[in-house]
Amino acid sequence: MVRVKRGKTAHKRRKQLLKLAKGFRWSRKSKYRLAKESLLHAFKYAYRDRRTKKREFRKLWQIQINAASRKSGITYSKFINLLKNKNIELDRKVLAKLAQEHPKIFEEIVEYVKT
Protein backbone atom coordinates (compact mmCIF):
# COMPACT_ATOMS: atom_id res chain seq x y z
CA MET A 1 0.00 0.00 0.00
CA VAL A 2 1.32 3.43 -0.95
CA ARG A 3 1.50 5.98 1.84
CA VAL A 4 -0.12 9.39 1.47
CA LYS A 5 2.22 12.36 1.76
CA ARG A 6 0.35 15.45 2.91
CA GLY A 7 3.09 18.07 2.80
CA LYS A 8 1.68 19.68 -0.31
CA THR A 9 -1.77 20.20 1.23
CA ALA A 10 -0.40 21.53 4.53
CA HIS A 11 1.93 23.92 2.71
CA LYS A 12 -0.95 25.21 0.56
CA ARG A 13 -3.14 25.76 3.63
CA ARG A 14 -0.41 27.62 5.51
CA LYS A 15 0.47 29.71 2.48
CA GLN A 16 -3.19 30.71 2.10
CA LEU A 17 -3.40 31.74 5.76
CA LEU A 18 -0.19 33.80 5.52
CA LYS A 19 -1.61 35.48 2.43
CA LEU A 20 -4.59 36.64 4.54
CA ALA A 21 -2.16 37.99 7.17
CA LYS A 22 -0.43 40.23 4.63
CA GLY A 23 0.01 43.71 6.03
CA PHE A 24 0.15 42.62 9.66
CA ARG A 25 3.04 43.96 11.73
CA TRP A 26 6.14 42.20 12.95
CA SER A 27 6.18 38.39 12.98
CA ARG A 28 2.44 38.06 12.58
CA LYS A 29 2.77 38.38 8.81
CA SER A 30 5.36 35.66 8.37
CA LYS A 31 5.07 33.11 11.19
CA TYR A 32 2.22 30.67 10.82
CA ARG A 33 1.27 30.28 14.49
CA LEU A 34 1.22 34.02 15.19
CA ALA A 35 -0.56 34.77 11.92
CA LYS A 36 -3.24 32.19 12.66
CA GLU A 37 -4.00 33.64 16.08
CA SER A 38 -4.02 37.25 14.91
CA LEU A 39 -6.33 36.32 12.02
CA LEU A 40 -8.77 34.74 14.46
CA HIS A 41 -8.91 38.06 16.32
CA ALA A 42 -9.07 40.06 13.09
CA PHE A 43 -12.05 38.07 11.80
CA LYS A 44 -13.81 38.45 15.14
CA TYR A 45 -13.32 42.23 15.14
CA ALA A 46 -14.39 42.49 11.50
CA TYR A 47 -17.62 40.60 12.23
CA ARG A 48 -18.35 42.72 15.30
CA ASP A 49 -17.55 46.02 13.63
CA ARG A 50 -19.70 45.37 10.56
CA ARG A 51 -22.61 45.60 12.98
CA THR A 52 -21.16 48.52 14.95
CA LYS A 53 -20.73 50.51 11.73
CA LYS A 54 -24.48 50.43 11.12
CA ARG A 55 -25.16 51.81 14.61
CA GLU A 56 -22.54 54.54 14.27
CA PHE A 57 -23.85 55.77 10.93
CA ARG A 58 -27.44 55.81 12.16
CA LYS A 59 -26.35 57.95 15.14
CA LEU A 60 -24.48 60.30 12.82
CA TRP A 61 -27.50 60.70 10.53
CA GLN A 62 -29.73 61.46 13.52
CA ILE A 63 -27.34 64.18 14.71
CA GLN A 64 -27.18 65.74 11.24
CA ILE A 65 -30.97 65.70 10.83
CA ASN A 66 -31.44 67.14 14.32
CA ALA A 67 -29.03 70.02 13.60
CA ALA A 68 -30.70 70.83 10.28
CA SER A 69 -34.26 70.57 11.61
CA ARG A 70 -33.50 72.78 14.61
CA LYS A 71 -32.45 75.53 12.18
CA SER A 72 -36.00 75.34 10.87
CA GLY A 73 -37.41 75.48 14.40
CA ILE A 74 -38.39 71.87 15.08
CA THR A 75 -36.72 69.12 17.11
CA TYR A 76 -35.59 65.81 15.65
CA SER A 77 -38.16 63.70 17.45
CA LYS A 78 -41.07 65.93 16.44
CA PHE A 79 -39.80 66.05 12.86
CA ILE A 80 -39.57 62.25 12.56
CA ASN A 81 -43.00 61.88 14.18
CA LEU A 82 -44.57 64.33 11.73
CA LEU A 83 -42.88 62.52 8.81
CA LYS A 84 -44.44 59.26 9.93
CA ASN A 85 -47.86 60.90 10.38
CA LYS A 86 -47.71 62.35 6.84
CA ASN A 87 -46.62 58.92 5.48
CA ILE A 88 -43.37 60.28 4.03
CA GLU A 89 -41.04 57.32 3.81
CA LEU A 90 -37.61 58.93 3.56
CA ASP A 91 -34.98 57.11 5.57
CA ARG A 92 -32.48 58.85 7.81
CA LYS A 93 -29.61 58.37 5.37
CA VAL A 94 -31.43 60.27 2.62
CA LEU A 95 -32.64 62.97 5.01
CA ALA A 96 -29.11 63.53 6.33
CA LYS A 97 -27.75 63.76 2.79
CA LEU A 98 -30.47 66.27 1.86
CA ALA A 99 -29.73 68.31 4.98
CA GLN A 100 -26.04 68.50 4.09
CA GLU A 101 -26.05 68.85 0.31
CA HIS A 102 -29.46 70.43 -0.43
CA PRO A 103 -30.53 72.47 2.61
CA LYS A 104 -33.27 74.31 0.65
CA ILE A 105 -35.01 71.04 -0.24
CA PHE A 106 -34.67 69.86 3.36
CA GLU A 107 -36.26 73.10 4.59
CA GLU A 108 -39.14 72.61 2.15
CA ILE A 109 -39.70 69.10 3.56
CA VAL A 110 -39.71 70.54 7.09
CA GLU A 111 -42.19 73.25 6.11
CA TYR A 112 -44.44 70.73 4.35
CA VAL A 113 -44.41 68.49 7.41
CA LYS A 114 -45.20 71.38 9.77
CA THR A 115 -48.41 72.31 7.90
Please choose, from the candidates 45, 98, 44, the residue with its C-alpha nearest in 3D space to the C-alpha of residue 69.
98
Domains and CATH numbers, the chain: 7-114 (1.10.1900.20)
For position 56, what pLDDT does the model report? 98
For position 26, what pLDDT does the model report? 96
Overall residue count recorded for the chain in this entry = 115
Please choose, from the candidates 102, 92, 89, 90, the residue with its C-alpha nearest in 3D space to the C-alpha of residue 56.
92
Per-residue tens of pLDDT for the chain, all 115 residues: 888 888 999 999 999 999 999 999 999 999 999 999 999 999 999 999 999 999 999 999 999 999 999 999 999 999 999 999 999 999 999 999 999 999 999 999 999 999 8
For position 4, what pLDDT does the model report? 86
Residue type present at position 37: E
22 vs 20: CA distance, rounded Å: 5
Farthest CA pair distance, the chain: 87
